[in-house]
Amino acid sequence: MKPITLISGAQKGIGEEIANKFASEGHDLILLIRYPLQKNILIKRYKKKYKINIKCFVGNLKDHKFINQLKKKIPKVHNLINNAALRNDKHFLKVTDNDLNDLLEINLKSVFKLTQIFSKKMIKNKIKGCIINISSQLGHVGAYNRSVYCMTKFGLEGLTRSMAMDLGKYGIRVNTVSPTKIVSTHPLDKNKERLNLIRKKIPLQKFATKKQIASIVYFLTTNSALSITGTSIISDGGWTAGK
């Protein structure tokens, strides 16, 4: 039987690259995506290219009803990759209640709820599975105009460590992967001057790539990582090593 890997926020960016990596390694996929138009495109792509089984569930992870439906519709998984997240670039004094609530719902609460649901299914099915939370270097250091984002990522790091301790006796491992800046389609990433400024702060003078992060995530699910739990692999080019 092929292992089953569930990935949230799988329609683009790091999530899409993680899905590509696990599909290439022969995993069946369950993808959580945001928009209906993406569903058939993704299913056709993965079935044709990788010859795997794939299911896509469309919904908003702020919607607790959607998350509870997943509990009923998905009997088991071997790996859970909590990738979905929101960013916020506002100055602390300009953050609104809606900003705060949105990031807490997606970046923390959805991770808590999905992990609770699927770790129970792992235990029921005697699966010594893996839970990997996509964090950030900003879960380890602060930054200007990132107060809410840093709050949720620091919280994710703490949650991950505590879950690892609670779930270890069942053979379930929980870790985070914390990338540095990854160039995306966000409007701010079209500003070359800004990107160069950020790059100069990285000792290796380069950004992480989506493929690199996907490979680290996959590594954590392999036998080579059987003793790794309750920690973070920081792929930041040395950013958090010091000034």
pLDDT tens, position by position, 54-65: 999 999 999 999
| Active-site option among 46, 50, 149, 218 | 149
- Report pLDDT for 65: 96
**First vs last Cα of the chain: how many Å apart?**
48
| Separation CA 38–CA 52 (nearest Å) | 18
Whether 183 shows a pLDDT value over 90: the answer reads no
Q: What is the dihedral of CA 116, 56, 24, 214, to 10 degrees?
A: -50
> Which own/partner pairs from 144-150 qualify as long-range (CB within 8 Å, at least 24 positions apart)?
144/91, 145/89, 145/90, 145/91, 145/92, 146/88, 146/89, 147/91, 147/92, 147/95, 148/88, 148/90, 148/95, 148/99, 148/100, 148/103, 149/87, 149/88, 149/89, 149/103, 149/107
Domains of the chain: 4-241 (3.40.50.720)
User: Which residues, 6+ apart, have CB-to-CB distance to 205 below 8 Å?
Assistant: 199, 237
Q: If we measure between CA atoms, which residue out of 46, 234, 72 comes closest to residue 137? A: 234
What percentage of the chain carries pLDDT values higher than 70?
96
149 is catalytic: yes
| Separation CA 212–CA 79 (nearest Å) | 19
- Report pLDDT for 181: 77
| Separation CA 57–CA 12 (nearest Å) | 15
- Report pLDDT for 198: 83
| Separation CA 72–CA 238 (nearest Å) | 43
What amino acid is encoded at 18 in this protein? I
The phi, psi pair for 234, rounded to 5°, reads -100, 110
- Report pLDDT for 186: 63
What amino acid is encoded at 141 in this protein? V
